Chain A
Amino acid sequence: MASSPGPLPPAEITRRLQARFGEDLLEASVALGQAVVRVTPERYRELVGTLRDDAEFACDFLDFVSAVDRGEDGMEVVVQLWSTSRRHQVRVKVAAGTDEPRARSISDLYPGANWHERETWELFGIDFEGHPQLVKLLLPEQFEGHPLRKDFALTTRLAKPWPGEETTGEGPE
């Protein structure tokens, strides 16, 4: 069996990305055994492209694109990348802003991102610039609003409040 280089340690991934992106890498940490980086919107596509094309990262597989509603801090797009050859993964986060949140599309870099971005667009209302076909994927056509936003009103909950304990949303970092 041909030997392929093993996985890069998460700390090594963040170190190498920091060396390349410097100030534009707003945050780099190791969480739950994987590298997590936050990048400026300007160099988001460049970072994803680097992770895909550069042989030392070789992230050839896009696991998912999703988002987090951080309330007053705005929306955040989360991308998970995986290297099938080196067997390591990287999580990329990028701020999308508060009013009319937007992010650059990476569906030309990873065709698999197409549907993930459509889903994130309809559920969070984040506009993906450069996406070829931003139309509803899962929601019914007549559906109004973005149901995974924190300010989306669940009509059932208005009639009957949540009977259990409030979930605070605090989890392991």
Chain B
Amino acid sequence: MGLIERTPLVNLQPVKFLLNWGRKYSLWVMNFGLACCAIELIATSTSKHDFIRLGVIPFAHGPRQADLLVVAGTVTDKMAPALKRVYDQIPDPKYTISFGSCSNCGGPYWDSYSVTKGVDQIIPVDVYVPGCPPRPEALLHGIIKLQEKIAHEDIREKWSGKLTGAPAPS
């Protein structure tokens, strides 16, 4: 139990706002680049598009430092366990952006024998960015959408890890 769980302070709207405001502009991003989308993700991190101005810090040296996981590219069934492992190593609270058609739903590999059709079968996803590949502007838009989501979160619920647990096996 940490301070967040023990104190009633976070129920106060100004405190809640302040905590979420701090969190949404401090997202250390983990690069899970797997295909051409990874190039767009990297381009978004460089000077022209520069997602650091939105508080997204490129790039965490390992999942244990990261807050945000961007899955950019084609996840194969063989890669899926590694992705799950990386996600599990990220400490709560954590967020996932599925970047590009392949990681959203399989994309052009929708009927492939080896591609996972949708990364949300493996890990929970907060924001889906469509495109093949999406332009950096699309990722910036996705980050803003994620920040809107964070701004309205109940921090204690998010901290509990219940929201980021593995999807129940069907």
Nearest CB of chain A from residue B46's CB, rounded to whole Å: 33
Q: Tally chain A residues at the interface, Cβ within 8 Å.
A: 11
Decide if A147 touches B111 in the complex (CB within 8 Å).
Answer: no
Decide if A156 touches B111 in the complex (CB within 8 Å).
Answer: yes
Residues of A near B78 (CB, < 8 A) are 138-140
Decide if B114 touches A139 in the complex (CB within 8 Å).
Answer: yes
| Separation of A62 and B22 alpha carbons in the complex (Å) | 59
Binary per-residue interface labels of chain B (54-93) against chain A in the complex, 1 for a CB within 8 Å, 0 otherwise:
0000000000000000000000011000000000000000
| Separation of A129 and B113 alpha carbons in the complex (Å) | 27
- Range class of the B interface residue count: under 10
Q: Decide if A55 is an interface residue (CB 8 Å cutoff).
A: no
| Separation of A150 and B77 alpha carbons in the complex (Å) | 21
Binary per-residue interface labels of chain B (106-122) against chain A in the complex, 1 for a CB within 8 Å, 0 otherwise:
10001111100100000
Closest to B115 in A: A156
Given A139-B78, A140-B77: A152 and B111 interface contact (C-beta under 8 Å): no
Decide if A152 touches B77 in the complex (CB within 8 Å).
Answer: no
Residues of B near A156 (CB, < 8 A) are 106, 110-112, 117
Residues of A near B111 (CB, < 8 A) are 154, 156-157, 160, 162
Binary per-residue interface labels of chain A (134-152) against chain B in the complex, 1 for a CB within 8 Å, 0 otherwise:
0000111001000100001
Nearest CB of chain A from residue B170's CB, rounded to whole Å: 16
Nearest CB of chain B from residue A145's CB, rounded to whole Å: 8
Decide if B110 touches A147 in the complex (CB within 8 Å).
Answer: no
**Residue in A140, A143, A147, A162 with the greatest tally of chain B CB atoms within 10 Å:** A140
Residues of A near B114 (CB, < 8 A) are 139, 147
Residues of B near A140 (CB, < 8 A) are 77-78
Chosen A-B contacts, 21 in total, with CB atoms closer than 8 Å, are A138-B78, A139-B78, A139-B114, A140-B77, A140-B78, A143-B77, A147-B113, A147-B114, A152-B113, A154-B111, A154-B112, A154-B113, A156-B106, A156-B110, A156-B111, A156-B112, A156-B117, A157-B111, A160-B110, A160-B111, A162-B111
12 additional A-B residue pairs with CB within 8 Å, beyond A147-B113, A147-B114, A154-B111: A139-B114, A140-B77, A140-B78, A143-B77, A152-B113, A154-B112, A154-B113, A156-B106, A156-B110, A156-B112, A157-B111, A160-B110
